[in-house]
Structure formats: structure tokens, C-alpha cells
Amino acid sequence: MSDDIVIGMAGSGGDGIVSAGDAMITAAALEGYHAFLTKSFGPQIRGGESSCRVRLSTRPVLSSGGTLDVAVALNWEDFLKFGAELPVGGRTTVIYESATGVPAERLPLPGVTPWESIAVPIAEMAKKNAGTEKAKNSVVLGLLAGWLGVGRDSLLAGLRKKFGKKGAEVVQGNENAFAAGVQYAEAHPLREPRTLAAAAEAMKEGKLIVDGNDMCAAAALFAGCEFFGGYPITPSSEIMHFFGREVWKYGGTMMQAEDEIAGIGAVVGASFAGKKAMTATSGPGMSLKTEMLGLATIAELPLVCVNVQRGGPSTGIPTKSEQSDLLQACFSAHGDVVRPVLAPTSVADTFGITVEAFNVAEQYQTPVIILSDQEISQRKETVDPIDTKAFTVVERRRPTESELEKYERFKATDSGISPISHPGMPGGNYLASGIEHNERGAPTASGEVHARMNDKRIHKLDPLMRRRDLFEIEGDVHAPVALVSWGSLAGTTREALEIARREGIQAKLLVPRLLFPVAEEIYADFFRGVQAGLVVEQSHLGQLYRVLRMYVGVPAGVAPYARSGSNPILPSSIVERLRQIVLGLQRQRVAEVEPAG
Amino acid sequence: MSTITRPVEEYQAKDYKSDLKPIWCPACGDYGVVQAIYRALANVGRPPHQIAFVSGIGCSSRIPGYTTAYGFNSVHGRALPIAQGIKLANPDLLVLVAGGDGDGFSIGGGHVAHAVRRNVDITYIVMDNQIYGLTKGQLSPTSPRGLKTPSSAWGSLEAPVNPLLYVLGYGASFVAQGTPADMQGLSAVIEEAIRFPGFAFVNVQSPCVTYGQEDQQLKAHKTTMQPLSSLGHDPSDRLKAMALASEYGRKLYTGVLYRNPDPPPTFEAEARRRQEETKAQARPKDRILEMFRPQ
């Protein structure tokens, strides 16, 4: 019996591996499990290799997990292309297509002896039971249902629904293929049973299945976003697709622009016209949007700009996750600019972060960047029901009747936030401009006014740095060992912390969801008494570590644990580093007590 | 354009003039253009607060600040996308865009074709002076071949853009030209462009007194301009309009070159229709996440 299973599957494009993954997570949600589904593809538009990882658990899951418990290879060439994304270890059950002709004792997995290797005539079973090899994925689902005891009824119901449109014959064929898989599994028990424990009955209610991009777009609609302008770019396009389907229903508009600049340009215009507006892109698009972000900063116009990060620079690896646009998000600006940057840590968290991004944008009249990443944006998660009523939606500060009598768009106030009018509002007429302007909006080249306005635009954001609710801290408060992580890596690091603490390591973790401006005091409090630790992130430079070094007294023993994208960081490897850190601290202590003669 | 208009006599040109003093050189053609815009707006009769006037960067892009409308003096070359966002966010507004030939046909050239085909109801006025004035006299995209400037000491090696022919070629439904040398004609084409239901383009030959050529000044326009009305041009004839437009740089035709007698629907009208058709499918916003429930 297990309570947590990680399955990795790979095949070529037409094998339906990814749709098998979709079927698994749907069945899992209906049966009350917590699950993650990550998909990974080769660069080909159609065909080529495709894979997915499904993690199923009776407890909430925070990452896609480490080494696979069950690996499914429809052919070895495609499977091996995913390398470290589908790691096979000594405890892995490998299920593979027997037609590959590879003997079980000679799998092409150098340096690894799996727990067991089972060659199954998957294609043959599909052909025999469904009359077509296309049903290979139904056989695989049957095998997994049989061996793991997961979702037999839900999977069958899913197959019926999926193939219903294609006629009774196709449905029957796939049901037969599924049943053959189940029978095969029953007739060939595993070396040790891997049956997944049943989920708690209460968990079956109301679970959602959603990926980060859809969650982001839905949250934007919830927050009152009425305009989306954007340009297709992997891996953020699904946000635009969602708006194209949904926004009209809520009285809003979507514009697929001619380029990234026009996409954010239209958003700047919509915001000027008084509407909440958003754009979404990935790294190269962010570079193109940068001038417009500067305009929104100086014109003090609210907008939300999502950057779903991928491997960079330039085209980089568009289909793989990385956290290497943090420096760009914080610092790519001409002039003195502070621009809020928020990062979700999971699909579920993407809801709150997106609503927060709109709230910050509207309250402080500033562009806000949401730094998501490919992992979160395209990963499907089971999400427990979210009580949307618990989220406040903030509207921009409009001028009152009396303020409109002698309206000053950029009026000096204690908070630095001035009432904002919009075209159509009588008496609110003003000139918005990228040129420096005085309180009334009139263009100026005065150094004095420029300094005053810079001060206003920068310091109006100060309250953000006291937003402790945008920081998650867990673990032992006084621990000498600290972890910091963000974005999709936060979940992995959280799992590492749990494992480490079970081993008796005293450690704590800080997860910033507000990355910029840097909340200096919150970090200072967290690092007090810390002797060593890791800043865990998916970038070569260790960009968060670098940013923190600019603003915060990071203890000398805290080092970056940073790797380029597409090289997964596993909870186990973080724990291993923590062990080394603890050993180092112990040696140091010994050396202090007994100085070497 | 929306239907919210007041009686014509309620607004006068001065109601659209702001207190800001223009930075333009004395006798710049743009003074005439802004006057023509005041007059056209007064005739259309929309109150200033219902007007959004967007520009990019350049001498002429200062123009929104000289009006009492909601103005947006944005970044170089990007006025059109911003203006489309404004109009789509609030289709009841009257949206004007203005800028120079460099703003519209060089750095922002990529946006023109798409503004045309998207057909958002905005009016785009280009003040074409064939030179970069604000940056002190470099070549512009409409500068004639061979022109000597600080950035082309030996003369330009490039053929100029033909704004009229480009915009006609992109498929625009309303294309006109004017010059401040004929104020009445200029304000009339601007007014007609504003009233046209869809994307409308007006190229204004607005000379640069400081860096422009001698023979391109307003004084010369008075003798070289040829009102299309006096030529018996039929503005519904697109091919004839293109033939006339191809003489850009050699002839100064003024008036409406092309007006589509059967204009296509605007983007915002289609958007509104789609909103109406789908609004019954909207979930209450606090239950929006239920769309992600597995079935």
C-alpha cells in the first residue's frame, strides 16, 4: 500500500500518452486524490516525443515529485529523450512495450537497475481488443488501474465520455482495451503491491482540475479585468485563448495584437480609458514590452503584465521552465523605476496572486508583473475548492465631485496616490504623458518637479514592503539553517523542508510571493540568527540570491542552489545539501570549542 | 462614433483649445492643423471630456496637450495601439490619433496596416513634413531620395514611403489629404474623417519651417495644391484614388481620395454583438472557478 505515487510516461506524439495523463488526473480528482500532471514535449509541432508525469497522493502535493515509482515507455528512444525529467531509480517499476524487443535485464538505462521491469505487448493488446493500435493508451490506463488500484470506474467513465462522439464501436473498442490492461495486471502481480490507499471521502467534493494559465485568466476575470491585449508566445498563449473564449461573456474585449508592443499598448489605452486590463507574454515578449511598462509607470496607469518564464535568453527553450527573468522583471526599465513583481507558487496560488496583482495595480496606479513559469502555467493540479468570497477586489481611487472642480491628476498626497479620472468623466480632463509632468499633467523639464515626481512614484509603493501576508514562513523560527525559494520551486523546497525536519534538521523556509520591491525588514527578521542556508531557484545565476544581496544583509553562509531550467531540482537533492550544511556547522562548532593545536 | 452629440451651436472652436502654449516654431504648419482640429471638433459637437486624443512622440505629437480633450502623449510610434485600446475599452468615446510621418510610417509603421484591417473607429491624422524636426533635421521615411540632412550628408539613398498609397493598399475605407494652406478644406476633411464610421486616415502636408525645404512651405502649397473636388474625382473609386495617391511627392491633391461607400463593420461593433450573444453564458464571478470542475 502506498499513499503517494509518481508515474512517468513517454511515447511518440500519436501514442496518446498525454491524454492518458489527463484521464488519470481527472479520475484522481473524482476519487479525491491530490494530483499533479506535468506534460513535456519535444520541439516538434506535431508528432515527435511527448511525455507526462502524474503524481497521485492522499495528501496535498507540492511538487511533481522525484524519482518515478512507475515508468511507462512505449518506445525507448522517446523515453530517453526526457532524461532527468523522467528519472528511473532502484525502486522504479518499469513497464514497457515488449515489441521494442529489449530484454528486461538489458534496459537502455545506464547505471540503473530498476526495481522490476515488465515487458507488456501493449500494441498487440490494443490491436486485438480495439482493432487499432490507437487504443494503446487505453491499454496503459487499464494496466495502471489494475496495478495501482486507482480510478477503475472513473477511468472507464472518462473513456466513454471521450470517445462517445466517435460512436459505440470506438467506445467499445477502448473499453475492451482498458479491460485487457486490467486483466493483464491482475494476472501479473507486481514484485510488491503498489496499490494506492483510498483517499478520504471528504476530499471527493468540489475538486477542480486546472493549470496555471487558465487559473490566471479566470482570476483576472474575477478581479474585474475587462480587456486583454496580447500576442501568441509559448508558454503563455493559453491565457489569451481563455480570454478569447470567455471575456465577451463578461462584457469585455480581447485583442490579438500585431506584436507584443501593440498588445501592451492597447492595455495601456484600455487602462487610461478606465478599465482593468492585462497582457501576458514570455521573456522575449517582456523585452519588447519594456518601453510601454515605463510609460505606464510615469503615467501612473494600472495594468497587469504576466510573464510566464521559459528557458532563455532569446528563443532559449520555449517549452521548458526556468526562473531566469527575475532580474529583467525587477530592473528592466529606463529611468528610476520601482515596479511591483509578484510570483505564484502553485496553480492554486495563481488565483490569489492574480487577484492581488490587480489590487496592487489599481490601488497604487502602477504596472504590476506576475512572474509565473512554464511549470506552473502548464501543469494541471487538483485544486481544493477556493472560497472566492474571501478575496477582496480593489478599485482605483476616483476623484470626488469636489476634487473634479479643480482637478489635478497627479496631485501631491500623503500616500503619493492621486485620484485618477478617465475619458468620459466630466471635469477630469487631463494630459497623460510619458514626458515628465507636474501635478496638473503639464509637460515640464524642471529638475525640481522631476525629483518630486520620482519621489511620489517610488514611495507610494512603500506600504507593499510591509505586506507580511505576501511572505510565507514555515519551519523552526530560530533555526540556524534557512531556505529561501520562489515560484514553482517553492513547492519542491517545501517538501525538502518537511523531509529534513523529519530527519531532525532544524531549518526554516521563506517563500516570497512579492519579489519586488524587496521587503528588506521581512528578510532581515528572517535571517536573524541564521548561519547557513540555500536560496533555491531555477536559474544559472541564482537571480533571487543576487537581488537579495543588493538589498539585504544575507548571512555569508547562505548560498545559491541554482540550476538552469529543464534540469529538475528534486526535494532529495535539497535535503542532501541541507545535511552537508548541518555537518559543516557541526564541524565549525567543534573547531571553535577545540581550536586546532 | 457614438450618437451622443449635442446641438452644433453649443460648442465653438475655442472650447477645445487648452491653456498650454505650443512649443512649435513660429509659423509651423502644425498651428494650422490644431486650429483645423478645433473647428472640426466644434462642428462635430462632442464635449471635450468625451474625446480621447492620443499621440506618440515628435513635434506634432505635442498636439493633444493643446486641446481640452483627455490627451495622451505616449511613446514614439505607439499611438495607434493605445488609441485602439481606449476605443475598445469604451466605444462611446470619440478617439483621435495624431503624429508625424516618422512616428507613423517609420518607428510605428508596423501598426498602421493592423489598425486599418482591425477597423476600430478612430481618426488618424498624420502631420507629414518629410523631416525629423524634434531631433533637429534628420531624414524621415517620407523624405525624398537624395535629400541632404545631418544624417544624410551626401543625400538620402532611400525611396520615400508613400503614406496615401500604403494606407489605401492596406484596405482603408477613408483616406484624405489636406494642408493648412487651405484651412477650410483641412477642417472639412478632418470633420468628415471623424464622422466616418471606421478607421479614417488624413495625411496633412504640414511643413517644417526650420528644417523643411523651401518649395514645400505653405506659401508654395497655395499654388501647387489641387482640390480633388475641382478635378471631378469620384471618392468611391478606389483604383482611381490609388492612381492619384501614387503621385504623392509630385502632386499635392487635397480632399477625400477614397471613401468606401459600403464600409465594413467596426471591431467594436462586432465585439459588442459577441458580448450580447454570449452574455447569457456568463457565470456569477464568485463561481467562475466552477468551470474547472471535472465532469
> With an 8 Å Cβ cutoff, are B85 and A26 in contact?
no
Q: Say whether the peptide bond before residue A517 is cis (omega within 30 degrees of 0).
A: yes
Query: Smallest CA–CA separation between A530 and chain B, in Å?
Result: 41
The C-alpha of B215 sits at a distance from chain A's nearest C-alpha, in angstroms, of 33
Distance CA A259, CA A306 (A): 16
Among chain A residues, the shortest Cα distance to B47 is held by A426
Residue B278 to residue A423, Cβ atoms within 8 A: no
Q: Do B288 and A206 touch (CB under 8 A)?
A: no
Q: Is B226 helix (H, G, I), strand (E, B) or coil?
A: strand
Instruction: State pLDDT tens for residues B101-157.
Output: 999 999 999 999 999 999 999 999 999 999 999 999 999 999 999 999 999 999 999
Give the position of cell 550544511: A581
Q: Looking at A86-190, which runs of residues are DSSP E strands? A: 93-97, 116-120
Rounded CA-CA distance A514/A286 in Å is 19
Per-residue pLDDT, A540: 97
Chain A residues touching B278 at Cβ < 8 A: 248-249
For residue A304, list chain B residues with Cβ-Cβ distance below 8 A: none
Is the CB of A424 less than 8 angstroms away from the CB of B288? no
Question: Any idea which fold B8-263 has?
Answer: Rossmann fold (3.40.50)
Look at B70 and A428 and tell me if their CB atoms are within 8 Å: yes
Question: Between the CA of residue B130 and those of B200, B204, B252, what are the distances in Å?
Answer: 21, 11, 14
List, as ranges, residues 33-72 from A with C-beta within 8 Å of B. Answer: none
Contact B193, B202 (CB under 8 A): yes
What is the DSSP secondary structure assignment for residue A568, as one 8-state letter? P
Q: What percent of chain B has pLDDT over 90?
A: 95
Contact A511, A494 (CB under 8 A): yes
Helix, strand, coil fractions of chain A, as percent rounded to 5: 45, 20, 35
Any idea how long chain A is?
Answer: 597
Cβ contact B278–A249 (<8 Å): yes
**pLDDT: is A110 or B39 the higher one?**
B39
CB nearest to B83's CB, from A269, A299, A443: A269
- Environment class of residue A69 by beta-carbon count within 10 Å: exposed (0-12), middle (13-18) or buried (19+)? buried
Other residues' Cβ atoms within 10 Å of the Cβ of residue A334: 10
The residue behind cell 481527472 is A26
Contact predicate A443/A436, CB 8 Å: yes
CB A285 within 8 A of CB A310: no
Q: Which residue in B73, B75, B83 is closest to A291 by CB distance?
A: B75
CA distance B112 to chain A (A): 10
Interface of B with A in 20-79 (CB under 8 A): 20, 47-52, 54, 57, 62, 64-65, 68-75, 78
Residue-range domains of chain A with CATH: 4-204 (3.40.920.10), 209-390 (3.40.50.970), 397-460 (no CATH), 470-593 (3.40.50.920)
Contact status of A157 with chain B (Cβ, < 8 Å): no
Cell of B22: 505650443
Rg (CA), chain A: 26
User: Does pLDDT of B2 surpass 50?
Assistant: no
If we measure between CA atoms, which residue out of A489, A568, A424 comes closest to residue A86? A568
C-alpha atoms less than 13 angstroms from C-alpha of B139 in its C-beta half-sphere: 19
**pLDDT given for residue A40 in this prediction:** 86
- C-alpha A246/C-alpha A239 separation (Å) is 11
User: What residue spans define the domains of chain B?
Assistant: 8-263
Inter-chain residue contact A431 with B289, CB threshold 8 Å = no
Look up residue A176 and give its three cell numbers: 475492451
Mean pLDDT in each 10-residue stretch from start to end of chain A (597 residues)?
94 90 94 93 79 95 92 95 91 96 93 96 97 95 95 90 91 96 97 93 87 98 98 98 98 98 98 98 98 98 98 94 97 96 98 98 98 96 96 98 97 98 98 98 98 98 98 97 98 97 97 98 98 98 98 97 90 96 93 72
Which distant-in-sequence residues (6+ apart) come within 8 Å of A410 by Cβ? A300, A418, A437, A438, A439, A440, A441, A453, A456
Do the chains contact at A431 and B286, CB–CB below 8 Å? Answer: no
Of A422, A424, A434, the CB nearest to B73: A434
| Cα dist from B144 to A322, B147, B244, whole Å | 49, 6, 18
Across the interface, of A209, A250, A442, the residue whose CB is closest to B294 is: A209
Q: How far is CA A327 from the centre of its chain?
A: 18
Helix (H), strand (E) at residue A315? none
Q: Is the CB of A269 less than 8 angstroms away from the CB of B85?
A: yes
| CA dist list (Å): B168 to A189, A372, B240 | 74, 42, 11
Are A430 and B51 in contact (CB < 8 Å)? Answer: no
The pLDDT tens digits of the residues spanning A15-74 come to 999 999 999 999 999 999 999 999 888 777 777 889 999 999 999 999 988 899 999 999
Residue to test with chain A: of B274, B289, B290, B293, most A Cβ within 10 A: B289
DSSP conformation class of A168:
H
Strands (DSSP E) contained in A93-166 are 93-97, 116-120
pLDDT higher than 60, residue B1: no
Q: What are phi and psi of A159, to 5 degrees?
A: -60, -45
Distance CA A296, CA A35 (A): 39
Q: Does A335 touch chain B (CB under 8 A)?
A: no
In B125-213, which residue ranges form alpha helices assigned H by DSSP? 163-170, 183-195
Question: What residues have CB less than 8 Å from A502, skipping those under 6 apart?
Answer: none
Please answer yes or no on whether B89 and A424 come within 8 Å at the CB atom.
Answer: no
In this complex, which of A208, A251, A386 lies closest to B275 when CB atoms are compared? A251
Torsion angle defined by CA atoms of residues B260, B261, B265 and B266, in that order, rounded to the nearest 10 degrees:
50
Q: Does residue B4 register a pLDDT over 80?
A: no
Three cell numbers written together for A144: 495502471
ipTM: 0.96
Residues of A in contact with B65 (CB under 8 A): 431, 433, 442-443
Answer whether A270 sits within 8 Å of B294, measured CB to CB: no
Tell me whether residues A226 and B89 touch, CB distance under 8 A: yes
Q: Cβ of A272 and B72 within 8 Å?
A: yes
CA–CA separation, A216 and A293 (whole Å): 20
Does residue A537 contact residue A543 with C-beta atoms inside 8 Å? Answer: yes
Contact with chain B for residue A426, Cβ under 8 A: yes
Q: Note whether A443 contacts B: Cβ–Cβ < 8 A.
A: yes
Say how far apart CA A298 and CA A453 lie, in whole Å.
9
pLDDT at position B226 over 60: yes
Q: Which of B81, B214, B248 is nearest to A272 (CA)?
A: B81
Q: Cβ separation of B286 and A251 shorter than 8 Å?
A: no
Q: How many angstroms separate the CA atoms of A324 and A542, rounded?
A: 8
- Burial (CB < 10 A; 0-12, 13-18, 19+), residue B278, is middle
Q: Is A391 on the interface with B (CB under 8 A)?
A: no
Q: What average pLDDT does this structure show over B228-239?
A: 97
Which DSSP string do the residues of A345-407 spell out, in sequence order? SSHHHHHHHHHHHHHHHHHHTSEEEEEEEHHHHH-EEEE----GGGS------PPPHHHHHT-
Among B210, B133, B182, B252, CA closest to B32: B182
Residue of A30, A268, A437 for testing the chain B interface, max B β-carbons within 10 Å: A268
